[in-house]
Amino acid sequence: MKYKIEVSGRGGESFIFRLTEEQREKFSDADVESGNMSYEEICEVLGVEDYFSCNEQIMGLYNGKNHGEHLLVEVFDEHDNPIWSSTEELDFQEVEESYECNDGNFLLIEDYQKGLFWRYELELEEEFNSDLLSIKIVELLDGMSELITDIKYNGQSIDYKDYGDTSSKGYNYLLL
């Protein structure tokens, strides 16, 4: 049986820049975290043309106290009939965590987004079982940001993943 899994909600695309001490001091003095610097000023301090020239780029959904707080998972059969939908009390049995950009000076520029983040296609011999869904979480900047970056089924990555359609709602700036 073929299934389509859609994952939507609130999250962000994180543009992560490793900073020198001088760059970190400039951002701290200008209070970049309060939004007191323009796009052009930030790019000038970083020495880049745009945010896409970052050291690391990670996209995902926000991870709340219970994982369903910021995400909605919907599963459809091969005829596009809905067969399962998550609720706010979504509790994944298995969570894979990784930690990135926790040592050194960093500026994380987070483009806050809402919408459909990913679309998966899953082919199974058995019926879909929501208890077999798990998530991958990436913790950034010593826990200042956590993003759900992937959904797995029965402990395995799902082979087909396509990006959906999200819209930007503004930027957040985090300095470590």
Pairing assessment for the beta strands 95-100 and 133-140 based on DSSP bridges: parallel
Measured CA to CA, the distance from residue 92 to residue 81 in angstroms comes to: 23
Phi and psi for 78 in degrees, rounded to 5? Answer: -70, -10
Measured CA to CA, the distance from residue 133 to residue 137 in angstroms comes to: 13
Specify the pLDDT at position 121. Answer: 94
Q: What is the mean pLDDT of residues 37-48?
A: 96
Specify the pLDDT at position 140. Answer: 77
Higher-pLDDT residue of 116 and 99 is 116
Measured CA to CA, the distance from residue 60 to residue 137 in angstroms comes to: 9
Tokens of 22: 């001088």
| In the chain, where the domains are located | 2-175
Specify the pLDDT at position 67. Answer: 46
pLDDT at 60 over 60: yes
Measured CA to CA, the distance from residue 38 to residue 60 in angstroms comes to: 25
Specify the pLDDT at position 15. Answer: 93
pLDDT digits (tens, 9 = 90+) for 5-27: 999 988 889 899 999 999 999 99
